[in-house]
Amino acid sequence: MADVIEVGAAREGAPPPAGGRPRRGGATERGHRATPYLFLAPYLVLFGAFGLAPILFGVWISLHQWDLQLPNRPFTGLANYKDLFSSDSAIYGDWWSSIRATGLFTVLSVPLLVVVPLGLALLLNRSFPGRTFFRAAFFAPYVLGVAVIGLLWRFLLDANLGLVNGLLGAVGLPADTPWVTDVPWAWVSLVGVTVWWTCGFNAVIYLAGLQDIPAELYEAARMDGANGWARFRHVTLPGLRPVLLFVLTTTILASANVFGQSFLITQGAPGEQTRTVVWRIVDEGLRDYDAGRAAAMSVLFALMLAVVSIVNFRLFRYRED
């Protein structure tokens, strides 16, 4: 991600061609002075209304007692935030339980989603017949939506009729595991399905990163007598550092925003133990109409994620020194 800024900055140094010599009436050689703004306008309208305004508007809503069904939305300052932190408020238990669920899912899924795809990418990182086929097969689940994979895995993990217990029974293992209705199985299911669904995506990103590592570096390491592990440790990993940071950051964000898997596969069960933050926010705001409180949750959660991302960048930068 650091590359985003670097690429941008490097290009800023070479200014785009000027509009040409000015003419009378604000016109230039190739068009009117307003031309750039006309090009930008359609996107900026969308971006302003649904990308930029909601950031400020969300904070504004969070400072009110904002019931979507009532005409009066009195300003209440930080009351919505205080509720989230005071153990005698009605929302306290549900909110922190959802934080726990999302936190647990993120801690369990991110290491797998960083390591497993790297293994897949290394397997595919040389040319052999059928390579494109395997890459496509690993990536295929990712093109399906969460609704499809949610329904599919709810079925596959069905304790009685599902293929997973069916296969376990066929090889003589216990065939009655409650994959979607009890812990810890529900967590195994949510994490496992997510790894199955999205690891092809990270693998493709790693693969592109691996191909950017110059072959000469591997040659040089080989000349120095480095074995496979040493080459991985001293050539591959350092070469992948920016890609690893990108994968780690985006994967943490994606896992922290988990919704569809628990909504469809475990349906929050057992009890509400697998009900995640995003689910809690939309239910609070859009099902129970308390937009003020839901907006406060969103702001607080976005801040938590920002802290995690910053720590993430710091750690990587520190290790670079």
Partner 1 sequence: MTSLRRGVRYAVLLLITAVFVTPLVWMLLTSLKTYDNAQQDPPSWLPNPFSTYGYDQIVNNTANPVLRWFGNSLLAASLHTLLVLVTASMAAYALARLRFRGRKLSFALIVGTLFLPPTSLIIPNFVIAERLGWIDTLTVVVVPGAASAFGVFFLRQFFLSIPQELEEAAVLDGANHWQIFFQVLLPLSKPALATLAVLSFLTNWNDFLWPVYVLFSPERLTLPAGLGLLQGAYVTDYPVIMAGAVLASVPVLILFVLAQRHIIQGVSRSGLKG
The 10 Å CB-count burial string (b at 16+, else e) for 109-143 is: bbeebbeebbebbeebeeeeeeeeeebeebbebbe
Residue among 97, 180, 264, 268 that touches partner 1 (CB under 8 A) = 264
User: Does 54 help bind partner 1 (rule: CB under 8 A)?
Assistant: yes
Q: How far is the CB of 216 from partner 1 (least distance, A)?
A: 20
Residues 189, 265 contacting (CB under 8 angstroms): yes
Residue 311 engages partner 1 in binding (rule: CB under 8 A):
no
Near partner 1 in 32-51, by CB under 8 A: 35-37, 39-40, 42-44, 46-47, 49-51
Cβ atoms of 292 and 66 within 8 Å: the answer is yes
Does 85 engage in binding with partner 1 (CB under 8 A)? no
- Decide if residue 270 touches partner 1 (CB under 8 A): no
CA atoms within 13 A on the CB side of 164: 18
Please identify which residue in 13, 71, 88, 170 interacts with partner 1, judged by CB under 8 A.
170
Specify the residue, 87 or 174, whose C-beta has the smaller distance to partner 1: 174
The verdict on 128 binding partner 1 (CB under 8 A) reads yes
135 binds partner 1 (CB under 8 A): yes
Judged by CB under 8 A, which of 88, 90, 160, 320 binds partner 1?
160
Cβ distance to partner 1 smaller for residue 200 or 268: 200
How far, in Å, are 155, 178, 194 from residue 158 at the CA level?
Answer: 5, 8, 17
Segment interacting with partner 1, rule: CB under 8 A, options 80-88, 90-98, 183-191, 283-291: 283-291
Based on the shown chain and the rule CB under 8 A, indicate whether residue 147 belongs to the binding site for partner 1. yes
Nearest to 294 by CA among 106, 81, 105: 81
- Tell me how far, at minimum, the Cβ of 23 lies from partner 1, in Å: 12
> At closest approach, how far in Å is the CB of 189 from partner 1?
13
- Kindly state whether residue 172 participates in binding partner 1, applying the rule CB under 8 A: no
Long-range interactions of 267-273: CB distance < 8 A, separation 24+: 267/180, 269/180, 269/181, 269/182, 269/186, 270/181, 270/182, 270/183, 270/186, 272/94, 272/97, 273/97, 273/101, 273/183, 273/186
The correct pick among 89, 125, 309, 312 for binding partner 1 (CB under 8 A) is: 309
Interface region with partner 1, contact rule CB under 8 A, candidates 99-107, 215-223, 231-239, 241-249 = 241-249
